[in-house]
Amino acid sequence: MRIVLVGPPGAGKGTQAQFIASHLSIPKISTGDIFRANVSGGTELGRQAKKYMDRGDLVPDEVTIAMVRDRLAEEDARDGFLLDGFPRNVPQAETLKKILSEWDAKLDIVLNLVVDEDEVVRRLSGRRTCERCGKIWHVDFDDKQDDICDDCGGHLFQRDDDKEEVVRHRLEVYKEQTAPLVQFYADEGILRGIDATGPVEEVTNRALRELRPLE
Ligand code: AP5
Ligand code: ZN
């Protein structure tokens, strides 16, 4: 199955992507994670992306699209994938459609995680990520008393772009550039809205209910 997850920053795309991708045994392809790995690895791609990410702006399309095209061409993505954080604007969505059509493929479904702005700010300000296994935690909702990952013992860190003024800018960028994707995919007839409030497992179950008819 070929799935795209959309939604504002902090809606829970990364959190849900972990569960959905492992449930369906398909690779989770997160452009944010790939960029962050390149930044910490000190690669040329990371160097190019970092200045945009630090401001909360989108990395230029030509950089992002080339990276995604290469990743989708890998063996494990041939029969299905879950994209988290891509596409991020209408030109990226149009390019994705073109790339897939070159391979006689198309998206099956786009899940739109719907959550209001206050909740998004609450989620981002308490987010912590495990430096070792990548698992996403929340200081309050997961009742974290220390900075250690309960799964692997790794150290938890706060993302640089979760600072308040950067979060505010990311929300603006979302409204201007990413929100129009909702209409784009509604017009394509493959958009499903998911109420992304409430416990993580409930949101996962709502998403899996939408996917079941396609399995
Ligand atoms: P990216 O990493 O994609 O960031 P984002 O879209 O802003 O999304 P987030 O990762 O902030 O949030 P999320 O929805 O995954 O929420 P999460 O699950 O972590 O992109 C970062 C940057 O990279 C961009 O700004 C841009 O510069 C660049 N970039 C990436 N893709 C690009 C592209 N295609 N084009 C150009 N540039 C690109 O959850 C958040 C918190 O809430 C966590 O603490 C979690 O534990 C908690 N939480 C989740 N669900 C629940 C729940 N149900 N109840 C309570 N808490 C919850
Ligand atoms: Zn961990």
- Per-residue pLDDT tens over the stretch 136-160: 999 999 999 999 999 999 999 999 8
What is the number of the ligand closest to the CA of 46? Answer: 1
Percent of the chain exceeding pLDDT 70 equals 100
Q: For ligand 1, say whether the CB of 205 is within 6 Å of any of its atoms.
A: no
Q: For ligand 1, say whether the CB of 53 is within 6 Å of any of its atoms.
A: yes
| pLDDT value, residue 215 | 84
> What span, in angstroms and rounded, lies between the C-alpha atoms of 68 and 213?
27
Strands (E), the chain: 2-6, 28-30, 81-84, 109-114, 127-130, 136-138, 156-157, 191-195
**Is 127 a catalytic site residue?**
yes
**CATH code for 2-115+163-214?**
3.40.50.300
- Is pLDDT above 90 for 182? yes
pLDDT (tens digit per residue) in 119-134: 999 999 999 999 999 9
In the chain, where are the structural domains located?
Answer: 2-115+163-214
Catalytic residue among 127, 128, 135, 206: 127
| pLDDT value, residue 1 | 97
**Is 192 a catalytic site residue?**
no
Q: For ligand 1, say whether the CB of 185 is within 6 Å of any of its atoms.
A: no
**Is 144 a catalytic site residue?**
no
